[in-house]
Amino acid sequence: MNEADSEDIGAAFRRRGYELTDDLKKADAVVVNTCTVRQRAEDKAISQIGRLRKWKLARPDGKLFIVGCAAQKLGGKYLKNRFPFVDEVVGAKAIESFEDSLIAQLGPSPESETAHQNLFRSPQTAYVTIMRGCSLKCSYCIVPAVRGPAVFLSADAILEDAASKIKAGAKEIVLLGQTVNSWRGGKTTFSELLSKVLALPGLKRLRFMSPHPLFFEDDFTALLAREKKLARYMHLPVQSGSDRILKLMRRGYTRGQYLALLERLRAAVPDLAVSTDFIVGYPGETEEDFLDTLSLVEEGRFTMAYCFKYSPRTDRPEMAATVSEAAVQARLEKLLAAVKKNSRLVLNERIGKIEEVLFETETYGRASGNFAVRVKAGGAPGKIAEVLVTGAEKNTLSGKGLL
């Protein structure tokens, strides 16, 4: 979400004739887009802002903007007090009115539009935000507080955004939202929206990120089975394998329900690749709870998992960390090792199979299941081709392009 917001902010600058630079010395303006999902992210943002003091001293006419979730949490008053050289603070809830802050600092924009520029993924992939905020209440999560409740963009606005990004060269669209599959537009369901985007001429592949287990409807499974352009991949955060912890987390499903959902999706698409997120060391997590998480790695057949140490995001005493740092570290290491071992198994299962690859270069691309794929030759940026997988190493498949 932050990457997508950063691209929109970049576009607002480009409408005023600014260009992007990696060289701080050349910059006339700096935007720090902050995250606060875990304390570490917030700490990184704070030290980054601190380091910009020097830039501002050398460039007193330069403009420094602090935006995003940590800006929302900490507030403009606190940040300007602690870092008086900051020009503007725009919290995550006000990110859509970033333009107003730009007008205040730099004046109105002479241009009303600018072509999309992709900053984070390969040039053929573009993000399209379809919802903002989140209306769930997972106990550990700060997102609803800093981004506000779920707000859905209209189907028309989404289709227009996607079509213009395809026109600018995107072959793959990634629909974004905190609970992306909870999207509704009047009577239009998420699956119907996917169908509309899939019908846009020039689109070669559609992804979405991140769905929540609670919001899959029956029409989705049929669509996934039918539509080859819909990626055979899903990042579906589970957070824990323990029913007791899932309940405390207020995730709204049990381990069994999550696994039943995977089974239902895989019955429709047997080669569906699924990755996930885990949190270790949630308050009150016992060794037994953790073992339930550990065993889920294999049972879920995840291709990949992001594993996080629990980070308290509120001062409420019942949400303070209770598991010792040493125990959390040990659990994290065990979990990472299990994820790595399992990823290798899942990757090896792909040897001998045919993967549909969207190429980024002559020799590198991504399979529909999101695996990185290397071939000796035959690819081209934006080309889709079938590849026979002949090997798997680290996180990459190797193969031979098929005609």
Residue 277 touches ligand 5AD, criterion: CB under 6 A:
yes
Q: Which is nearer to ligand SF4, 83 or 215 (CB)?
A: 215
Of 48, 277, 254, nearest to 140 by C-alpha is 277
Buried b (16+ CB within 10 A) or exposed e, 31-63: bbbbbbbbeebbeebbeebeebeeebeebeebb
Which of residues 212 and 366 has its CB atom nearest to ligand SF4 in the complex?
A: 212
- Residues that bind ligand 5AD (rule: CB under 6 A) add up to a total of 12
CA geometry: angle 228, 131, 7, nearest 5 deg: 85
374 residue type, one letter: R
**179 is a contact residue toward ligand SF4 (CB under 6 A):** yes
3-class secondary-structure state, position 209: strand
Query: What does the DSSP 8-state code read for residue 195?
Result: H
Cβ pair 58, 90 in contact under 8 A: no
CA–CA separation, 285 and 289 (whole Å): 6
Q: Answer yes or no whether residue 302 interacts with ligand 5AD by CB under 6 A.
A: no
- Check binding of 38 to ligand 5AD (CB under 6 A): yes
- Among ligand SF4, ligand 5AD, none, the one that 311 touches (CB under a kind-dependent 5 to 8 A) is ligand 5AD
Q: For residues 140 and 190, which CB has a smaller minimum distance to ligand 5AD in the complex?
A: 140
Residue nearest to ligand 5AD (CB): 277
Cα torsion 15, 19, 24, 26: sign: negative
What's the CA angle centered on 262, arms 229 and 348, to 5 degrees?
75
Q: Which residue lies nearer to ligand SF4 by CB, 132 or 212?
A: 212
Asked if 3 interacts with ligand 5AD (CB under 6 A), we say no
Residue 183 binding result from ligand 5AD, ligand SF4, none, given CB thresholds of 5 to 8 Å by partner type = none
Q: What b/e sequence results for 214-238 when a residue is b if at least 16 CB atoms lie within 10 Å of its CB, and e otherwise?
A: ebbeeebbebbeeeebbbbbbbbbb
Strand 131-132 and strand 151-152: the pairing is antiparallel
Reduced DSSP (H G I as helix, E B as strand, rest coil) percent helix, strand, coil of the chain, to 5: 40, 20, 35
Q: Which does 313 bind (CB under 5 to 8 A by kind): ligand 5AD, ligand SF4, none?
A: ligand 5AD
**Binding partner of residue 179 among ligand 5AD, ligand SF4, none, CB cut-off 5 to 8 Å per kind:** ligand SF4
Residue 133 or 401: the one with the smaller Cβ distance to ligand SF4 is: 133
Verify binding: residue 212, ligand SF4, rule CB under 6 A: yes
Question: Closest Cα to residue 273, out of 188, 366, 193?
Answer: 366
Task: Report the alpha-carbon distance of residue 259 to residue 157 in Å, rounded.
Answer: 35
Residue (120 or 376) nearer to ligand 5AD, CB: 120
Question: Which of 253, 302, 310, 371 is in the footprint of ligand 5AD by CB under 6 A?
Answer: 310
Nearer to ligand 5AD, 156 or 325 (CB): 325
384 CB-contact burial (10 Å; exposed 0-12 / middle 13-18 / buried 19+)? middle
Which CB, 43 or 160, lies closer to ligand 5AD? 43
Give min distance, CB of 182 to ligand SF4, in A. 9
Check: CB of residue 1 under 8 Å from CB of residue 151: no
Per CB under 6 A, does 279 bind ligand 5AD? yes
Over the window 130 to 169, marking each residue x when it contacts ligand SF4 by CB under 6 A and - when it does not, the resulting string is ----x-x-x--x-xx-------------------------
Residue of the chain from 36, 129, 178, 276 that contacts ligand SF4 (CB under 6 A): 178
Selection from ligand 5AD, ligand SF4, none that 252 binds (CB < 5 to 8 A by kind) is none
Taking the least distance from each CB to ligand SF4, the nearer of 79 and 138 is 138
Q: Are 397 and 371 in contact (CB under 8 A)?
A: yes
CB 343 within 8 A of CB 298: no
* Largest distance between two CA atoms of the chain: 62
Contact segment (CB under 6 A) with ligand 5AD among 96-104, 304-312, 356-364, 373-381 equals: 304-312
Contact between 236 and ligand SF4 (CB under 6 A)? no
Among 141, 193, 347, 358, binds ligand 5AD (CB under 6 A): 141
Which residues would be at the binding site for ligand SF4 (CB under 6 A)? 134, 136, 138, 141, 143-144, 178-179, 212
